[in-house]
Homo-oligomer: A and B are copies of this chain.
């Protein structure tokens, strides 16, 4: 299963957009980028098209493609949908989850906690991602799993930002524990509510963070 050049370019561009190398309304010049990646315009255009379809970039016919960072409103909307999708995962998983998966959720939380204490941000994020990935998978609905991963990936950079809020890490861990507890009890509604709240609060924290930044800037 070998990948082609345009795939790698798409990934690279995605990273560059998500980490803010390209500013928001900025136009992405095909020729420049082609030179930068040492490739012709053909695979580059394929990569740009992929980004356009995944929403990171807007393609205006005969004008070019422009970086399109979601604004505060759209972000809140995305977090809202993410919260609901994860709640559905939890509801389904509460019935279907295996003992092994529960064990793994516990283990992941352990490692997550250890990372919090050791102040290892990267390790924390890795385990956090794993926690959610397991939940998606345990929904038993692979279409849902894919949709969740898609949206999760898109929200990734903002999730990271939101976690800088004071005391959020410890609170987030507590929420994880509560979610696992509900799953262990097989309580679908409680698990769903816990997960919905867990994700929704991320959106809110992020929103607060944005507001404070705006005040600072003003």
Q: State in angstroms the CA–CA spacing of A4 and B144 once bound together.
A: 32
**Residue contact B3 to A144, C-beta cutoff 8 Å:** no
- For the side of the interface on A, what is the size category? 20 to 34
Using Cβ atoms and an 8 Å threshold, which residues of chain B touch A45? 46
Copies of this chain, complex-wide, total 2
Contact B1 A61 (CB under 8 A): yes
Which residues of A (21-51) have their CB < 8 Å from a CB of B?
42, 45-46, 49-50
Cα of A49 to Cα of B45 in the assembled complex, Å: 11
Q: Give chain B residues whose Cβ lies under 8 Å from the Cβ of A141.
A: 77, 80-81
- Known interface pairs A46-B49, A49-B49, A88-B84; A77-B143 also in contact (CB < 8 Å): yes
CB proximity to B under 8 Å, residues A135-154: 141-144, 147
Is A62 engaged at the interface, CB distance under 8 Å to the other chain? Answer: yes
- Is B81 a contact of A84 with CB atoms below 8 Å? no
- How many whole Å from A146's CB to the nearest CB in chain B? 9
How near does chain B come to A208, taking the closest CB pair, in angstroms?
20
Determine which of B53, B62, B147 lies in contact with A81 in the assembled complex, contact meaning CB atoms within 8 Å. B147
Interface pairs (19), CB distance under 8 Å: A1-B61, A2-B61, A2-B62, A3-B61, A4-B61, A42-B42, A45-B46, A46-B49, A49-B49, A53-B53, A74-B143, A77-B142, A77-B143, A80-B143, A81-B141, A81-B143, A81-B144, A84-B84, A84-B85
